[in-house]
Structure 1
Amino acid sequence: MPQTYARNLLQTLALAGLTLLAACETTQVQPPTPDDTQVMRGKEPNYKRVQVHFGTNRAAGDGSTPAQAFGTTYSDTVSYGSAEVSIPRDHRMGELEGPNPWLLEFRQDPEKHVVLLSVKPMDRKRFLDEIASEIDEAGSRHALVFVHGYNTGFEDAARRTAQISYDIGFQGVPLFYSWPSQNSLLGYGEDERSVAKSQPLMRDFFRDLAERLDAETIYVLAHSMGTRATAGALAELFTEKPELRSRFRQIMLMAPDIDADVFRTQIAPALVQPDNRLTLYASSNDIALKASKAVHQAARLGAADPLVLMPGMDSIDASDVATDLLGHSYYADGDSVVADLVEVIADKGPAEQRTWLEPRRSEVGRFFRFKPVVHPAPAQ
């Protein structure tokens, strides 16, 4: 084992050239003023408001702005509420638009950016009652729960949930669970401790949704380090209350920062079952997971080195999907992944029946890759 998580992580990131990203954290972005959120062009605002609901075991922040509603400190109780997020009319699928300091943009503008506009806390009963009412009104009777990964604050968790919900055209109720990540590149070790402590609270959150909501299907989309608590919480829940398993038919693990052997031996037996559809998205080009592997001296489930295959789980190699510098956010940045999520949530069936995937075979079994994108030839 490495001497300390922080020391080894910093060494790995330095070798990968990723320490340049730390400088970006010093950029100060101003939140929108109340007037900014009411900008009008003609008779209609040039953005859409998307409502998302949340559970979080972050301690309350100072509340000076919506982004400060919750901080980075761990709490042993779950807080609930709803939030509104702006999606600009010219939003590009997969993008999480924000101010660009290189263009001298330092203030969030709902007409240009995905902005957390408001946060409304509420107690547990009101939270569950409101979601139940919205599910009844939505008609589709579906809920989508997003769980973020490492280096993510409450604000970006809300923004990303709204963006994903908007991009896939989700007709049910979008939610997110936000565990207390430090929202810092250098906070990896503390994030690991925090996400582990959060797992029992997340299990109770999922149990509430399954028991209290009259939803036909609860979709779960978890990313990076957040997949640890998500997979562990659901495995515990399914073991304790197997009758709730069918409520979570779609579970999607994106770039999971989970020890691959731990997943095979301790989590998969409870999580991977014939009546559930579990989808793994992994990439051999994921620099963040390569860093995690160096820190832990153990293969990561989402790193595709090799790709983990097992009955009852669709394993998808997303190595060829164009994405961000880290190669770690293809769930939101790759158009083909977003398109596949649309089909997963539309219940188009297992991977072999979906449009954007093609089957491949290795020595240990079958897996899937995204079909090559064919660009039209330029006009002569």
Structure 2
Amino acid sequence: IFIATTRKRSDDPNKVFDGERSATLNYARVNVTVPPVHETGQIERRSRGKSDDPTKYFMASELVGYDTQPKFSSALNADIAARGGRVMVFVHGYNTGFDDAVYRLTQIVHDSGYPGTPVLFSWASGAKTTDYVYDKESASAARDQLEVTLRMLAQTGARRIDIVAHSMGTWVTMETLRQLAITGDRDLGGKLGDVVLASPDIDVDVFKSQMRRYGKPDKPFILLLSDDDRALRLSGLIAGSRPRVGDYKDAADLATYGVTVVDLSGAKG
């Protein structure tokens, strides 16, 4: 897993990056193993008091940090070339710690059989349910750095860049795509592939405004809805009666903006 993050490096020796914001991007790579007992859709994590056991739990190893973007880009480019030129960028959501984001991307790549290079864009979530406002501000502060990351990927040997974003991560993603559209490079020089927005934590009117500014995409964005998303339920409570995109099921309306809706409510795995 390659990592570009707006989190600060942690002073805690048991952590790599914490929930504090960094003014600049930090780069790293980590290897993660998936246990043979893994069940689709799950993340088997070691509970407190249990010993490390790669046959039972997701395990991270061989963490490598990069002190400059060129060094990171060089390592990334080599991996992209070895995997056929396809990249998946994952932008996590609200209330997500760094380790949680790494393991979630690992699970997505493993379960989907994604053949390309996985890249985690991790913004500075406080990883607490009470930090919703902090997380929203952190997400907003990360927009420019996600743009930097996507442009960097477009300058590598990548032939296709897919984006998967969840919850509040969809806000960061849509704002960044909006910025790219304003600069006249909305599809990253033709390299933008699938854009998947899972349970978007965005006001419906704001989302429509973002899509109008972006323009109808050449390939429809995929919007995944689920009644089981806890983060979205909390967002709904904070937002009051204002609908969120993740709750909005007027597929015909969203289709006019170039969005395909897939309702996963009740689906397992």
Q: TM-score, normalised by structure 2?
A: 0.91
| Counterpart residue number, 1:279 | 222
Cα separation, 2, equivalents of 1:133 and 1:287: 38
Is the Cα contact below 8 Å between 1:238 and 1:271 reproduced in 2? yes
Per-residue CA distance 1:190-242 (angstroms, 9 max, x = gap): 111111111111111111111x1121110100001111011111221132132
| Counterpart residue number, 1:89 | 36
The equivalent position to 1:225 in structure 2, one of 147, 165, 168, is 168
Going from structure 1 to structure 2, the CA distance change for 1:79 and 1:281 (only over 3 Å counts) comes to same
Per-residue CA distance 1:2-26 (angstroms, 9 max, x = gap): xxxxxxxxxxxxxxxxxxxxxxxxx
1:188 aligns with 2:138: no
Going from structure 1 to structure 2, the CA distance change for 1:100 and 1:58 (only over 3 Å counts) comes to closer
Cα separation, 1, equivalents of 2:195 and 2:235: 23
Corresponding pairs, count: 264
Give the share of equivalent positions with the same residue, in percent: 30
Is the Cα contact below 8 Å between 1:207 and 1:237 reproduced in 2? no
Aligned with 2:179: secondary structure? helix
| Counterpart residue number, 1:238 | 181
Cα separation, 2, equivalents of 1:274 and 1:268: 9
Cα separation, 2, equivalents of 1:81 and 1:73: 17
Aligned with 2:142: secondary structure? helix
Cα separation, 2, equivalents of 1:133 and 1:306: 43
Is the Cα contact below 8 Å between 2:31 and 2:60 reproduced in 1? yes
Is the Cα contact below 8 Å between 1:98 and 1:108 reproduced in 2? no
| Counterpart residue number, 1:64 | 13
Cα shift at 1:72: 0.8
**For residue 182 of structure 2, what is the amino acid of its counterpart?**
T
Instruction: Report the structure number with the largest CA radius of gyration.
Output: 1
Going from structure 1 to structure 2, the CA distance change for 1:238 and 1:247 (only over 3 Å counts) comes to farther
Cα separation, 1, equivalents of 2:230 and 2:134: 20
Cα separation, 2, equivalents of 1:90 and 1:287: 26
The equivalent position to 2:263 in structure 1, one of 306, 317, 321, is 317
The equivalent position to 1:131 in structure 2, one of 76, 90, 93, is 76
The equivalent position to 1:79 in structure 2, one of 23, 26, 40, is 26
Per-residue CA distance 1:133-184 (angstroms, 9 max, x = gap): 111122x210011111111111111111112111111221111000000111
Going from structure 1 to structure 2, the CA distance change for 1:291 and 1:126 (only over 3 Å counts) comes to same
| Counterpart residue number, 2:195 | 251
Aligned with 1:246: secondary structure? coil
**For residue 316 of structure 1, what is the amino acid of its counterpart?**
V
Aligned with 2:180: secondary structure? helix
Is the Cα contact below 8 Å between 1:57 and 1:74 reproduced in 2? yes
Aligned with 2:57: secondary structure? coil
Going from structure 1 to structure 2, the CA distance change for 1:82 and 1:286 (only over 3 Å counts) comes to closer
Q: How does 1:100-249 map to 2 (within 5 A)?
A: 100=47, 106-122=50-66, 123-138=68-83, 140-210=84-154, 212-242=155-185, 244=188, 246-249=190-193
Is the Cα contact below 8 Å between 2:94 and 2:231 reproduced in 1? no
The equivalent position to 2:204 in structure 1, one of 242, 250, 260, is 260
**For residue 320 of structure 1, what is the amino acid of its counterpart?**
G
Cα separation, 2, equivalents of 1:245 and 1:181: 30
Cα shift at 1:97: 0.4
| Counterpart residue number, 1:55 | 4
Cα separation, 1, equivalents of 2:47 and 2:17: 24
1:290 aligns with 2:236: no
Gaps of 5+ in 1: 1-51, 323-333, 335-380
**For residue 54 of structure 1, what is the amino acid of its counterpart?**
I
Cα separation, 2, equivalents of 1:99 and 1:239: 45
Is the Cα contact below 8 Å between 2:136 and 2:168 reproduced in 1? yes
Going from structure 1 to structure 2, the CA distance change for 1:309 and 1:146 (only over 3 Å counts) comes to same
Is the Cα contact below 8 Å between 2:29 and 2:63 reproduced in 1? yes
Is the Cα contact below 8 Å between 2:40 and 2:111 reproduced in 1? yes
Relative contact order (C-alpha < 8 Å, sep 6+): which is higher?
Answer: 2
Gaps of 5+ in 2: none
Is the Cα contact below 8 Å between 1:80 and 1:124 reproduced in 2? yes
Cα shift at 1:119: 2.1
Q: TM-score, normalised by structure 1?
A: 0.66
Cα separation, 2, equivalents of 1:245 and 1:235: 15
| Counterpart residue number, 1:375 | none
Cα shift at 1:188: 1.1
| Counterpart residue number, 1:21 | none
**For residue 98 of structure 2, what is the amino acid of its counterpart?**
F
